[in-house]
Structure 1
């Protein structure tokens, strides 16, 4: 089936989606009229039937036809970048618009996601054009070259090119409408199911109070769930056709990007996109929010902007380059509007060499004037309100404080076990427990595996020995860190690095082994801690 035929089929199926809803409502109305005519006059049973049909028709009318959808021109994400503030970015966008013959955006916004897109405030399911907006993900500026960014933006403009499918906007708008409708029906069903479950739980509690067996009745979501499933089944056919159009459009847009920025720059950008997405997720989870639980965040502009430190680290850069060269192979999903990235890369790399190489190799972030200020503004509009209450500290302090907090949390079970034994929750208390012959009593109070819990005698001690050693090492490090004699240092190449006093690491393992031996000797570890400057008590 050609792309154009698929597009027209998708539009017809979209119309069918609404006709299905209309058919349900009209069918129920015809049924009500027929029943009334057959009965000749109003009866209580007839009123009950009308109430039932109204209960079915209302969610269809409410969700499919009457719900007001948020327009694209409503609350927009990110921060706007004006021509006056960011002339370099606008110059690139204008140049792409001229070369593609596509009407450019009225507004450009910077967003925190690894994404770029041009969307339009259309009417009548995309048939009437409107104001266009371009969004550019800040991670793209940090991780791509100028040539690669030009390719990414050229791809987005390609969706609006005359060489693309004419009904592209209609199929895109149609997908949004269908997803909105199905989502609305499932939300209603979830809400009703929760209400139904609460009522059933109350009934079950009353029956139990009277000594009666609770009912086996389960909450289902009622008619809303049935309707949601019906429309979901129909939507699968619509998505299977419309997403095929979307996949064809992606290949066409990639080709336009290659014509604009060059084959190599386009292939390189495609390879980097999934790597950047993973790097962003890793950075936010392992760096930017490492101090979230203790109310700390990196300096202003660094929650998103700090990604450039990770991307600039030589070791990380080498890792990402290797990942980009080894994209995993994926089978196309018939319900996905985007083909697998490895197939898109293969299609571009199969093009003849155009001799342009990788294009402009300068960092795309150089296009963003006063980047620190813009990234700070991006945080203000993108982070959750709770972020405003967090303290901003430098990276070094953030890592030290966060790791110390994590260490305290990890040491909490051992501290509680020591307190239960009447000993101080410190490394000295743990050493005293060992000297008093209570080490195994201590480890018995700590979480253990099922196998360890079932062991006895010598076997139980062998299971407990590494636990004791781990807790003793942890308590020693925590004591040194709290005394300011040790700490963690930021590393963009890997996990935070623990820095111990000079000479401590070489003697640490033997001292731990001595303290955890069958005949324990805590004096080497006590002496080592004292030499490092830790008070005995």
Structure 2
């Protein structure tokens, strides 16, 4: 079946979706009329049947025909890139538009996702063209070369240069309508089930109060759940047809990208996209938001722009290169609009060598004028409102402060245990507990495993000893870091590295062991802390 035929079939199925809903309603009305005519008079049983028909028909009318997707009255998300401010970006887009013979976008916007796309404001189920918007993900500018970015954008224009995609907007609209319908029916079913469960629970309490057993009846989703199941079956058929159209369109658009930007640049971009998406997720979770709980963010423009630091690190570059070369083999998903990336790459690399190589090797970010300012603007329009209240600090300070906050939070249970013993919640307070023979009292107040909780005598101490050692070492690090005598150093190659005072680490293990022995000796650790510059607390006045 050709892509055009599949697209027309998808449109027919979309029409069939609405006809299915109309058929349910008309069928119910016809049944109600037939029953009335057969009865010849209005009876109580007939009214109950009409009520049942209304209970079935109402959710269909409500969800299918009356629920509409909310239209966003505001602008599209992202930062607008004007021709005057970003001539290099527009020059590339205009060149691609001219070479593909495709009408270019009216505006270009920068977004934070690892994605690019051309959105069009079409009418009449996508048959009447409208204003086009091009969105470019900031990570693409940061992580791709100019040649690779050109192939990505050419792919998007390729969707419009192929006549087979004329009905693409219709298939997307149908997909949204079906998902909205099925989701709406399931939401109604969930609410009905929750209400029914509450009623059954109340009944069960009354029966128990009277000394009777609960009925054991379980709440269900009612007719809404049944209708959701029916429309789900239809949706699966629609998706199998419409997503097959989408997969063929992706292959066709890849061919356009290869013709325009070159085989090697297109294959390279396809290989790097999954690795870039993984790098973006890793960067945002491990670096950009590391200080969120501490009320900190990187400098303006670095929440997204800091990805460049990660991608520039030699070790990370090697990891990403391996990720791009070793694409996992995947089976096509009949409900996915995109073919597996390894198959798309194989199709492009199977093309004859066009002699163009990887294309322009310069970083795509160079196309963006005043990139730091634009990336800072992107943060303003895309980050959650809470971000405005965060303090912006440089990367080294961000990592040190964020990890110190985490270390203090991890030490909180130990500090609460010390406070409960009437001791200072500090490393010196814990050393005082050891000297006073109360170390095992301290560990007994900490969370423990079932096995440790059941142990007694010598066995209990053997379970508690590594816990004491860990908490003592952690408290020492927190004290040193809080005093500015130790801290964590940013590393783009791996986790932040803890740096202790000179010579401290060499004697640290032995001092901890001495403090945790049966015949505990805290003097070595006290001396080590004092030698590092951490003063002991003043003795209380007598």
Q: TM-score, normalised by structure 2?
A: 0.94
Structure 2 equivalent of residue 176 of structure 1: 176
**Which residue of the partner structure matches residue 491 of structure 1?**
491
Match of 1:354 in 2: 354
Determine whether 1:453 maps to 2:439: no
Equivalent position of 1:106 in the other structure:
106
Mapped contact 1:197–1:219 kept (Cα < 8 A): yes
> What is the CA RMSD across the aligned residues, in angstroms?
2.0
Contact 2:3–2:164 (CA<8 Å) still a contact in 1?
Answer: no
The answer for the alignment partner of 1:119 in structure 2 is 119
Superposed, 1:136-175 pairs within 5 Å as: 136-162=136-162, 164-175=164-175
- Answering whether residue 534 of structure 2 is matched by residue 534 of structure 1, we say yes
Change (3 A) 1:210 1:483: farther
Deviations 1:95-140 (A, max 9, x none): 1111111121122111111111112122232222222111111111
The whole-number CA distance in structure 2 between the counterparts of 1:222 and 1:488 is 57
Kept in 2, the 8 Å contact 1:116–1:134? The answer is yes
Residues 114 and 276 in structure 2, CA contact (< 8 A), matched pair in contact too: yes
| 1:259, distance to aligned residue in structure 2 (A) | 0.9
Map of 2:540 onto structure 1 = none
Q: State the partner residue of 1:474.
A: 474
Measured after TM superposition, the shift of residue 207 of structure 1 is 4.7
Displacement of 1:18 in angstroms is 1.4
User: What SS class does the counterpart of residue 118 from structure 2 fall into?
Assistant: strand
Q: Check whether the contact 2:162–2:252 (CA below 8 A) recurs between aligned residues.
A: no
SS state of the match for residue 117, structure 2? strand
The answer to whether residue 17 in structure 2 is matched with residue 17 in structure 1 is: yes
Contact 1:417 1:445 in 2 (8 A): yes
Provide the residue aligned with 1:67 in structure 2: 67
2 CA distance for matches of 1:122 and 1:288?
Answer: 38
**Partners of 2:301 and 2:210 in 1: CA distance:** 62
Question: After the TM superposition, which of the residue ranges 376-385 and 522-531 deviates more from structure 2?
Answer: 376-385
Q: What's the CA shift string for 1:150-196, capped at 9, x where partnerless?
A: 11111111111135444333222222222222222222223333333
Residue 187 (structure 1) aligns with? 187
Aligned to 1:382: 382
Tell me, in whole angstroms, the C-alpha distance in 2 between the residues paired with 1:365 and 1:401.
30
Q: Which residue of 2 aligns with 1:510?
A: 510
Distance 2:442 2:415 in 1: 10
Contact 1:114 1:276 in 2 (8 A): yes
- Give the 3 Å change call, closer, same or farther, for CA 148–475 of structure 1 in structure 2: same
Separation in 2, partners of 1:215, 1:363: 69
For residues 406 and 36 of structure 2, the distance between their equivalents in structure 1, rounded to whole angstroms, comes to 71
Deviation at residue 530 of structure 1 after TM alignment: 0.5
The worse-fitting range, judged by mean Cα deviation, of 174-183 and 457-466 is: 457-466
Q: Is residue 171–residue 242 contact of structure 1 (8 Å, CA) maintained in 2?
A: yes
Retained in 2: the 8 A contact 1:186–1:228? yes
Aligned partners of 2:27, 2:179: CA distance in 1, in Å?
24
- 64-73 or 342-351, larger mean C-alpha shift: 64-73
User: 1:391-445 CA deviation, whole Å, 9 max, x = no partner?
Assistant: 2222222222211110011011111222222222211121122222322332222
Deviations 1:344-397 (A, max 9, x none): 111111111111111011111111112222212211221112222222222222
TM-score (norm 1): 0.95
- Alpha-carbon distance in structure 1 between the residues aligned to 2:420 and 2:30: 75
Q: Which moved more, 1:42-51 or 1:72-81?
A: 72-81
Greater Cα offset, 525-534 or 460-469: 460-469
SS class of match (1:186): helix
Residue 200 of structure 1 and its aligned partner are, at CA, apart by 3.6
Query: Hey, what does 2:218 align to over in structure 1?
Result: 218
Residues 126 and 166, structure 2, Cα contact 8 Å, conserved in 1: no
Contact 2:121 2:129 in 1 (8 A): yes
Q: Deviations over 1:77-104 (max 9, x none)?
A: 2122121221111111111111111121
Q: Any idea what the Cα deviations from partners look like across 1:206-227, whole Å, max 9, x if unmatched?
A: 5555555444333323222211
Superposed CA deviations along residues 283-308 of structure 1, whole A, max 9, x for unmatched, are 11111111222222222222222212
For residues 48-82 of structure 1, what are the alpha-carbon distances to aligned partners after superposition, in whole Å with 9 as ceiling and x for unaligned? Answer: 32222122112211221222224588652212212
- Structure 2 alignment gaps of length 5 or more: 538-542
| Partners of 2:384 and 2:225 in 1: CA distance | 32
